[in-house]
Amino acid sequence: QQGSVDEFFNVVLQLTKKCGQLIKERTSSRTKKVETKSSAIDFVTETDQEVERLLIDGLSKAFPEHKFIGEESVSSGAQCELTDAPTWIIDPVDGTMNFVHSFPHSCISIALFVDKHPAIGIIYNPMMNQLFTAQKGKGAFLNGEKITVSGTKRLAEALIMMEFGTSRNAEQRSVILENQQKLMPQVHGLRALGSAALNMAMVACGAADAYFEFGIHIWDIAAGELIITEAGGAVIDPAGGQVDRLSRRVLGASSQELAEQLAKELAQFYPERD
Ligand code: LIP
């Protein structure tokens, strides 16, 4: 099995690098074809669709038995179902809003789950030349160099990543603002990169100490979960306890202590499940 995970990893890495070049070439173009999805500010571009198609075509050619959960396939009606079968979970452009604005923080986020657990995670921001990779049990890497979380245990010393999201749901927006108000006086600072996967990558490499969000989907966080845990961090539900990957809720941190401390502070929001 391990040999084959290595093979899966090599194939997906080559495909991801190739697709990353496409995103990089297109990012500065001012004429992107943009459509809306769940809200007036939830976007999909032709690049999202093209990259997802290239990844799924390439992987299914190499591994015909494997299954897929892809952001754009699900939004065009495919089922979002995680089984025990080897399943690639793909966000072709995480941070689509950033991509649309040429703000250089978007990435490909791709993970392989086997028996419902992460085996491979890759997050690639081609604009900033940041390639985060992990395989279960083998550590986490940024451009081939081993990375570890900061290890911060105290909320009072933490740089926290949170997002504003693209939901126009009033309750969700007020929970986001409430958490901002609550956390601001208690932590070193709050940051938002506009991409769940890149926020998680920042926690994994020790540039930030924790990240939480309500309303994300499994494809936003699947790779980040493995990269954070392989870098020595913790990923839990934002109310504490085990993360539920289809619940659209996540909290990742540089230590279990910080994760639990942050979870206790948060006002909670429970989106409709995937
Ligand atoms: C985005 C997430 C981000 C969230 C946005 C959106 P997309 O994913 O990465 O954390 O705040 O609402 O879901 O749509 O760019 O792939």
pLDDT value for 42: 84
What SS3 state is found at 85?
Answer: coil
Candidate from 23, 44, 106, 163 with most ligand 1 atoms within 8 A of CB, to mutate:
163
Which of ligand 1's atoms lies nearest the C-alpha of 95? Answer: 15
pTM given for the model: 0.97
Q: How far is the CA of 1 from the centre of ligand 1 (A)?
A: 33
∠ CA(18), CA(24), CA(30), 5° rounding? 140
Which residue, judged by its Cα, is nearest atom 12 of ligand 1? 165
Per-residue pLDDT tens listing for the chain (274 residues):
445 999 999 999 999 999 999 999 998 887 788 999 888 888 888 999 999 999 999 999 999 999 999 999 998 999 899 999 999 999 999 999 999 999 999 999 999 999 999 999 999 999 999 999 999 999 999 999 999 999 999 999 999 999 998 888 899 999 999 999 999 999 999 999 999 999 999 999 999 999 999 999 999 999 999 999 999 999 999 999 999 999 999 999 999 999 999 999 999 999 999 9
Which of ligand 1's atoms lies nearest the C-alpha of 97? Answer: 15
CA 139 to CA 227: how far, in whole Å?
A: 8
CA 243 to CA 136: how far, in whole Å?
A: 17
* C-alpha pair distances (Å), 97 with each of 92, 128, 130, 212, 254: 13, 17, 19, 19, 27
| Residue 166 CB neighbours (<10 A) | 17
For residue 65, say whether it is annotated as part of any ligand binding site: no
For β-strands 43-45 and 34-36, DSSP reports them as: antiparallel
CA 18 to CA 21: how far, in whole Å?
A: 5
Amino acid, res. 160: I
Candidate from 90, 216, 251, 269 with most ligand 1 atoms within 8 A of CB, to mutate:
216
pLDDT value for 153: 98
- Residue 146, judged by CB atoms within 10 A of its CB (0-12, 13-18, 19+), counts as exposed
pLDDT value for 1: 44
Which residue, judged by its Cα, is nearest atom 16 of ligand 1? 94
For residue 209, say whether it is annotated as part of any ligand binding site: no
Which of ligand 1's atoms lies nearest the C-alpha of 217? Answer: 13
Which of ligand 1's atoms lies nearest the C-alpha of 96? Answer: 15
Q: Which residues line ligand 1 at a C-beta cut-off of 6 Å?
A: 71, 91, 94-96, 163, 165-166, 195-196, 213, 216, 220
**Which DSSP string do the residues of 132-164 spell out, in sequence order?**
EEEETTS-EEETTEEE-------GGG-EEE---
What ipTM goes with this model?
0.96
- Beta-carbon contacts of residue 60 (< 8 Å; ≥ 6 apart): 66, 68
pLDDT value for 2: 43
Tokens of 32: 């992107």
Is there a contact between 36 and 43 (Cβ–Cβ < 8 Å)? yes
Which residue, judged by its Cα, is nearest atom 5 of ligand 1? 165
CA 135 to CA 4: how far, in whole Å?
A: 12
For residue 220, say whether it is annotated as part of any ligand binding site: yes
